[in-house]
């Protein structure tokens, strides 16, 4: 066992951390090489966890506890020829609260990989609390980045040289070829996976029904901005500039997505509607029909179809008696634009999630008399607390690049993430106590997310009943935005809204901030029998990882990608590498086929 400091709790210098980690890594590599479970067990805490993203099997998996971790590591290291363990040359160890965060490079069969460990002091030496491993690349098929970047213009004499712009037009058109991958949705998820695949030389086409990339954001309400911050908001291969604002307005983010597609030479067809698809199990290829902007129908035959349309599809609008006779204006939050259009008007906003709060905020700021209808309960966290407790790795002075911060972010198994989120929800509630007390005093009903897991748990269960406060909650607590709680709208009589408790409210505007239908439910009927194997997209699978998302789905050739910007940046790497592995024959399209073809 490598010797460490006499008192591991004392201040650790950067050089100490490097030496301690190097010793641990040498012992770790030796234990895996020899297959000694006792030597390997000595390097882990009893409660240690391991999460792996395709560095070993081509899937996501995790272990909890030293016994399970050591047994699985020993088995997989041998099966997948784990070797070449070296400290990372890009990211030195970082000491935080007496523990060491460190990264290492290694290889497995066909792959280049990277690991992360959190080493903590125990009984006079440092052992693992958290281990994460992930594939970084394919040994024989490197990404077209850095030393492997494309030449661009080839110098010298090239007979019949073509223009770059003409080459791009031909590449985008796919007139004489088929894309290997068709991606539905040109949002951050779809563009991120297309960028990853493009860097791996996998012909990829993205389709989107909107006229311009980013229009899904442009069409949202004017006051919308990203709730994440600039430090974690970039997409693969292209960081946001240092002059970028901390809080990105939605129109600026829309322009960024459009610029990203252009700068990274992504093949995108806008004004293109997906019609239907059929997967040929024998040929292992899709037939997908799309309608172009000119009305023509094009039939495509990709091997892979990636549904990257986000979590939510068409707007939900409750059926309300008499709403068709309302002489004022009604709008779903999806189409509502600008509070300035309603100065001096009376507005009812139905729904108390983020959109409902921010539209009420916008209307109030522009002189409307606003009532917010909260029908059930809402999880509320201030913007400051949200970032203080859930974005600690993404700050102005972060000691890691986002790529390494992402690896740390996704290092814990989801069941441990749930435990952590419950603690963070309580810490945030304590920090926001005055605000929350003010809300409850007004009759606002609070909840804490599924089983107390806050926003992350809400997303996992497909719910959006949360509010990241940037000012609307104070307006409610101060009585400046009126609150109607715990009732529904029974009917509308002319300009009068009648609630289920018998009370009434005269209004000029009704905004339905009532959420969206699940996107998968919308597209599922268009895929015929190919969709029958998919019980859900996103959420938790039986193994505790994400269900059918960013990994192989239950239907070969059908892939799903959804989630936050950081999730897209992190998870698209694995989807793209697995698709590339399938395309070059490293992995089969369908592992369950008897012939493995």
β-bridge partners, 122: 125
Provide the phi-psi class of 486: left if phi over 0, else alpha when psi is between -120 and 50, else beta. Answer: left
Q: Which CATH number fits domain 317-514: 3.40.1050.10, 3.40.250.10, 3.40.50.2020, 3.50.50.60?
A: 3.50.50.60
pLDDT at 310 (0 to 100): 66
pLDDT tens column, 287-326? 999 999 999 999 999 999 999 976 666 788 999 999 999 9
pLDDT at 418 (0 to 100): 95
What is the topology classification, in CATH, of domain 164-313+518-584? Answer: FAD/NAD(P)-binding domain (3.50.50)
Token pair 């080839």: residue: 154
Give the pair of three-digit tokens for residue 595: 């012939």
Taking the alpha carbons at both ends of the chain, their separation in whole angstroms is 46
Show contacts of 71-80: CB within 8 Å, 24+ apart: 71/37, 73/32, 73/40, 74/32, 74/35, 74/37, 74/40, 76/52, 77/32, 78/35, 80/55, 80/56, 80/108, 80/109
Give one DSSP letter per residue of 514-559, joined into a string: --EEEHHHHHGGGGGGGGTT-S-SSSB-TTSSBSSSSS--SSTTEE
Cα–chain center distance at 458: 14
pLDDT tens column, 50-108? 999 999 999 999 999 999 999 999 999 999 999 999 999 999 999 999 999 999 999 99
pLDDT at 592 (0 to 100): 87
pLDDT at 4 (0 to 100): 47
SS3 500: coil
**Is the model's pLDDT at 522 over the cut of 80?**
no
**Residues 451, 453, 455, 456, CA torsion sign:** negative
pLDDT at 517 (0 to 100): 73
Cα–Cα distance measured from residue 7 to residue 544, given in angstroms and rounded to the nearest whole number: 38
pLDDT at 312 (0 to 100): 62
Instruction: Locate CATH 3.10.450.50 in the chain.
Output: 14-138
pLDDT at 1 (0 to 100): 41
Q: What percent of the chain has pLDDT over 90?
A: 87
pLDDT at 2 (0 to 100): 47
HSE value, Cβ hemisphere, 13 Å, CA-based, for 550: 26
519 neighbors 313 (Cβ within 8 angstroms)? yes
- List phi, psi (to 5°) of 457: -65, -35
pLDDT tens column, 403-433? 999 999 999 999 999 999 999 999 999 999 9
Cα–Cα distance measured from residue 66 to residue 47, given in angstroms and rounded to the nearest whole number: 6
What's the mean pLDDT in 512-520? 81
Average pLDDT, the chain: 94
pLDDT at 596 (0 to 100): 47
- What band does 161 get if pLDDT is binned at 50, 70 and 90? very high
462 vs 357, residue with greater confidence: 357
- What band does 443 get if pLDDT is binned at 50, 70 and 90? very high
3-state DSSP of 382-443? EHHHHHHHHCCCCCCCCCCCHHHHHHHHCCCCHHHHHHHHHHHHHHHHHHCHHHHHHHHHCC
Sheet of 329-332, strands arranged across: 329-332, 509-512, 346-350, 369-374, 482-485
β-bridge partners, 468: 381
Cα–Cα distance measured from residue 586 to residue 135, given in angstroms and rounded to the nearest whole number: 14
For the ranges 123-127, 518-522, 574-578, the lowest mean pLDDT is seen at: 518-522
Cα–Cα distance measured from residue 313 to residue 316, given in angstroms and rounded to the nearest whole number: 9
**Is the model's pLDDT at 217 over the cut of 70?**
yes
Q: What percent of the chain has pLDDT over 70?
A: 97
HSE value, Cβ hemisphere, 13 Å, CA-based, for 557: 21
Instruction: Locate CATH 3.50.50.60 in the chain.
Output: 164-313+518-584, 317-514
Give the number of other Cβ atoms within 10 Å of residue 154's Cβ.
Answer: 9
- List phi, psi (to 5°) of 137: -170, 170
- What band does 595 get if pLDDT is binned at 50, 70 and 90? low
CATH 3.10.450.50 fits 14-138, yes or no: yes
What's the mean pLDDT in 338-361? 96
């Amino acid at each position: 066992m490598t010797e460490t400091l006499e008192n591991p709790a004392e201040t650790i210098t950067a050089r100490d951390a490097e030496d301690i980690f190097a010793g641990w890594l040498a012992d770790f590599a030796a234990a895996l090489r020899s297959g000694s479970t006792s030597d390997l067990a000595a390097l882990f805490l009893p409660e240690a966890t391991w999460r792996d993203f395709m560095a070993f099997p081509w899937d996501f998996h995790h272990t909890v506890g030293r016994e399970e971790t050591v047994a699985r590591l020993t088995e997989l290291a041998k099966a997948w020829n784990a070797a070449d363990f070296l400290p990372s040359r890009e990211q030195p160890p970082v000491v935080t609260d007496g523990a060491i965060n460190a990264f290492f490079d290694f290889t497995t069969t066909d792959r280049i990989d990277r690991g992360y460990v959190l080493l903590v002091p125990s009984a006079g030496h440092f052992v693992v609390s958290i281990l994460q491993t992930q594939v970084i690349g394919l040994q024989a098929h490197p990404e077209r980045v850095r030393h492997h970047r494309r030449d661009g213009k080839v110098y010298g004499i090239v007979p019949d040289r073509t223009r770059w712009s003409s080459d791009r037009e031909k590449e985008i058109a796919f007139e004489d070829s088929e894309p290997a991958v068709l991606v539905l949705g040109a949002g951050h998820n779809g563009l991120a996976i297309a960028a990853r695949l493009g860097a791996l030389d996998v012909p990829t086409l993205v389709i989107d029904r909107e006229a311009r990339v980013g229009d899904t954001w442009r069409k949202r309400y004017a006051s919308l901005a990203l709730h994440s911050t600039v430090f974690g908001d970039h997409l693969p291969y292209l960081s946001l500039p240092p002059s970028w604002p901390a809080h990105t307005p939605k129109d600026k983010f829309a322009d960024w997505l459009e610029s990203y597609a252009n700068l990274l030479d992504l093949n995108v067809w806008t004004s293109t509607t997906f019609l239907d698809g059929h997967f040929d199990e024998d040929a292992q290829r899709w037939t997908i029909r799309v309608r172009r902007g000119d009305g023509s129908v094009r039939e495509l035959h990709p091997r892979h179809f990636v549904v990257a349309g986000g979590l939510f599809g068409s707007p939900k609008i409750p059926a309300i008696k008499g709403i068709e006779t309302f002489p004022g204006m009604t709008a779903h939050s999806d189409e509502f634009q600008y509070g300035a259009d309603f100065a001096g008007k009376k507005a009812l906003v139905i729904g108390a999630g983020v959109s409902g709060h921010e539209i009420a905020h916008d209307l109030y700021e522009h002189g409307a008399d606003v009532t917010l209808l909260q029908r059930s309960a809402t999880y509320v966290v201030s913007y400051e607390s949200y970032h203080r407790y859930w974005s600690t790795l993404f700050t102005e002075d972060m000691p890691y690049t986002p790529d390494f911060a992402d690896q740390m972010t996704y290092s814990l198994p989801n069941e441990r993430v749930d435990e952590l989120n419950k603690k963070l929800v309580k810490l945030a509630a304590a920090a926001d106590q005055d605000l929350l007390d003010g809300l409850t005093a007004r009759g606002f009903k609070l909840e804490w997310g599924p089983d107390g897991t806050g926003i992350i748990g809400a997303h996992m269960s497909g719910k959006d009943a949360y509010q990241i406060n940037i000012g609307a909650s104070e307006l409610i607590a101060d009585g400046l935005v009126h609150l109607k709680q715990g009732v529904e709208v029974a009917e509308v009589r002319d300009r009068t809204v009648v609630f289920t408790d018998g009370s009434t409210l005269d209004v000029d505007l009704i905004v339905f901030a009532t959420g969206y239908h699940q996107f998968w439910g919308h597209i599922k009927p268009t895929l015929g029998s190919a969709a029958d194997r998919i019980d859900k997209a996103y959420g938790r699978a039986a193994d505790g990882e994400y269900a059918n998302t960013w990994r192989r789905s239950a239907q070969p050739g059908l892939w799903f990608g959804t989630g936050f910007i950081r999730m897209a940046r992190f998870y698209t790497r694995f989807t793209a590498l697995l698709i590339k592995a399938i395309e070059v024959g490293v992995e089969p399209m369908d592992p369950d086929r008897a012939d493995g073809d």
